[in-house]
Amino acid sequence: MAILKFRISWEEDDAIYRDVMVKHTQHFTDLHHIILKAFEFDEKHDATFFRSNEKWQRGREISKAVYEKNYVVPPLMMDEVLISSEILNTNQQFVYLYDFAKSWTFLIQLIQVIKNTDADMELNYPLVSRIEGVGPMQYGTKGLLGPNFTDIEEKYDLTEAQDGFGEEGEEGLASDDDADEEDGNISDDEAGSDDAGGMFDDSAEAY
């Protein structure tokens, strides 16, 4: 038995990441669930992993389901593929895509392999071992504040003053001409690389 530690980074900001630990005998479904838990996302949407390399190129998919899309080769299924079978080297990488409409993308890299003699097998794997940075909000502000936010809006009528904080004529407000001028300035806008082929008994297809 071995424990695999992966670093899951948000593609848009690699300073935001979570370290997760899984047993090498667990499936990609388990990795899928722990990633969503680590970033506090729900499990309502489609998801897929891609085999990847050091340049984060996307290879064959390990998918939650077979979706209506064009595949170069048929995808593997998350609930059938052991994580260990896809570990070809000591810094193995994957790309994880969640919610195809929103395209939440996370970069996954193996950063440590803990042998059974050093692993705490009393822990409940998979688990989150480290959290760095404030993660993205899946559904924006309301997703962060929770379902009670709507009640707060109605009670305090938060939408009434959404166009500004002050009343007309208050000191510090810009004139219409100044505002027009300002509007014109706004534009639209830990890991080695050694071969780990002997790490597990299961063989895996190359990227």
Whole-number average pLDDT of the chain: 80
pTM over 0.75: no
pLDDT at 120 over 70: yes
Whether residue 186 is predicted with pLDDT greater than 70 in this model: the reply is: no
Check if the beta carbon of residue 26 is closer than 8 Å to that of residue 82.
yes
Length of the chain in residues, anyone? 207
pLDDT (tens digit per residue) in 51-94: 999 999 999 999 999 999 999 999 999 999 999 999 999 999 99
Single-letter amino acid, residue 21: M
Q: Before 74, cis peptide (omega within 30)?
A: no
Note down the domain range covering 170: 1-207
Residue 125 has pLDDT above 90, yes or no: yes
Q: What is the pLDDT of residues 131-146, one digit of tens each?
A: 999 999 999 754 444 4
Residue 112 has a pLDDT of 96
Domain count across the chain: 1
Q: How many C-beta atoms surround the C-beta of residue 128 within 10 A? A: 15
Digit-coded pLDDT (tens) for 15-59? 999 999 999 999 999 999 999 999 999 999 999 999 999 999 999
Domain with residue 100: its CATH number is: 3.10.290.30
Q: pLDDT grade, residue 187 (50/70/90)? A: very low
* Neighbour tally for 202: CB within 10 Å: 14
